[in-house]
Amino acid sequence: MGDNVEFDTEIDVLVIGAGGCGLVAALAAAERGATVAVVEKAPRLQGNTALSSGSVPGAGSRFQRAAGIADSPARYAADLRRIAGPHDADALVDRLAGISAELVEWLVDSAGVAMTLVETYRHVGHGVPRLHAPPARRGADLVADLERAVAARDIPLALGQEARALITRDGAVRGALTVDAEGREARIGAGAVILASNGFAAARDLVAAHCPQAARARYAGAPGSTGEALRWGTALGAATGNLGAYQAHAGLAEPSGALVTWTVVERGGFIVDGNGARFADETLGYSAFAAPALAAAPPLHMIYDARIADDVAAGQPEFAELAAAGGALAADDAAALAARIGVPAETFAATCRAAADAAEGGATDTFGRRQWGLGALRPALRATRIAPALFHTQGGLMVDGDARVLARDGTWIRGLYAGGGAAVGISGLSGGTGYVSGNGLLAALGLGYLAGRAAGRQAGAEAGDAPATELQTQS
């Protein structure tokens, strides 16, 4: 909608969506002196950030240095490129890796987020431990800390207020039309609008069009990821990138839907299909393994042993809760476990023997797996029934190094910023194989931080506080 709209209220920066991206963007913009407001369509903060484990990468952080871990943005960027391969947003890889340590330290120091370096297990795709997470590894804690910081700075956060359309003037985005739970409309004018409304994984039409591989998977992300940013942005002429990329997870416990951490695989666990046979290299990672898992004969089971169960539960409370709630079937040997999970005993026994031979180095694994953690499984054995799921999409609106939305003609869409699932990600061109742990929150919090600072700076520049030339740089 456009041009001659009368605004009900006007501010410097309007943030659409109150997940990790939106809350960080609001804080960063306010820090630059801008007047900011956040609108959130859900009645409470229940986006993907709250569902996540809250793990945020920071390459070269002071927390790594204190733990004696040598790391750098260049090393991190190399890890990201090795896994993702070539894609549409290569420049963002260096940009986001470059600010990742600063971001984590800012979260702790300025936003008051409780975070520690995760050292108990190695995350998928990372050469060194570099993910920082809330002590209980819950994204809901990260969101609660950010929400507290937003409230402490008196930034208005309107829950149950959905953005329905962007408002443009002279080709620039200048606000949004919002509707609250009672159906009351408000036209909010803003010098800049930050799209922090996540991706399109909950919009089945968009998933079928852009990520057909994932269309058959159960959806386990937040309900609010319905693709408004993509629809509005493309209507305004925005360029898009990496639209076929997504993060899946091959290991959601059935029927509870709890996440079975891939640390179980890292420690030596493996996955069998409904025939009791393995079908791919599990160390591909939880996202990449989803494609072969979708093609395999169900039901699938993660197979591990009591040592792995205890080891993983000690570092990850959610896994302990899953086991305590009956999510881990136990048996003394392969024959008994085959009976419990309902697969042919002979095939399952042969699968266990072959995995043990490969783990002990006596045989080459048929699927090329080389890492077996604690080695061959030992009695007593455990099994958890799992199924693959789609978590979130990793493609979206193309942005520059300040999270400003780029148009298809190479210029910018003035006044429009995007981050998190709304923006292009760094997880490859398509499919689930390019996702490295932490890519989701890096794009959310990192682009939110950059968008907030740039939009806040723009407000400052318009008020005469900062050199206008800063706005011209495409970093």
Ligand X SMILES: Cc1cc2nc3c(=O)[nH]c(=O)nc-3n(C[C@H](O)[C@H](O)[C@H](O)COP(=O)(O)OP(=O)(O)OC[C@H]3O[C@@H](n4cnc5c(N)ncnc54)[C@H](O)[C@@H]3O)c2cc1C
Tell me which residues touch ligand X (CB under 6 A): 16-22, 39-42, 47-49, 51-55, 162-163, 196-198, 220-222, 224-225, 228, 391-392, 420-421, 438-441, 444
Find the shortest distance in angstroms from Cβ 91 to ligand X.
20
Find the shortest distance in angstroms from Cβ 437 to ligand X.
6
Find the shortest distance in angstroms from Cβ 121 to ligand X.
12
Q: How do strand 300-305 and strand 381-393 relate by DSSP bridges?
A: antiparallel
Find the shortest distance in angstroms from Cβ 229 to ligand X.
8
Instruction: At 383, give phi and psi (nearest 5°).
Output: -145, 140
Find the shortest distance in angstroms from Cβ 282 to ligand X.
19
Nearer to ligand X, 248 or 338 (CB): 248
| Nearest position to ligand X, beta carbon | 19
Nearer to ligand X, 224 or 251 (CB): 224
- As to burial, measured by CB atoms within 10 angstroms (0-12 exposed, 13-18 middle, 19+ buried), residue 255 is exposed
Find the shortest distance in angstroms from Cβ 297 to ligand X.
25
259: DSSP letter: B
Compute and round to an integer the Cα radius of gyration of the chain.
23
Find the shortest distance in angstroms from Cβ 294 to ligand X.
17
Nearer to ligand X, 179 or 306 (CB): 179
Find the shortest distance in angstroms from Cβ 316 to ligand X.
12
Nearer to ligand X, 95 or 278 (CB): 95
How far apart are the C-alpha atoms of 452 and 13, rounded to whole Å? 8
How far apart are the C-alpha atoms of 457 and 470, rounded to whole Å? 8
Nearer to ligand X, 383 or 441 (CB): 441
Nearer to ligand X, 175 or 420 (CB): 420
The first and second tokens of residue 462, run together, are 């318009």
How far apart are the C-alpha atoms of 74 and 92, rounded to whole Å? 13
CB 444 within 8 A of CB 50: no
- As to burial, measured by CB atoms within 10 angstroms (0-12 exposed, 13-18 middle, 19+ buried), residue 257 is exposed
Nearer to ligand X, 89 or 272 (CB): 89
Nearer to ligand X, 351 or 393 (CB): 393
423: DSSP letter: B
How far apart are the C-alpha atoms of 194 and 404, rounded to whole Å? 9
DSSP letters along 89-152, please? THHHHHHHHHHHHHHHHHHHHTS----EE--SSPPTT-SS--EEE-TT--HHHHHHHHHHHHHH
Amino acid letter, residue 186: A
Nearer to ligand X, 47 or 125 (CB): 47
Find the shortest distance in angstroms from Cβ 240 to ligand X.
16
How far apart are the C-alpha atoms of 407 and 41, rounded to whole Å? 26
Containing 319, the helix (H) or strand (E) segment is: helix 317-324
Length of the chain: 475
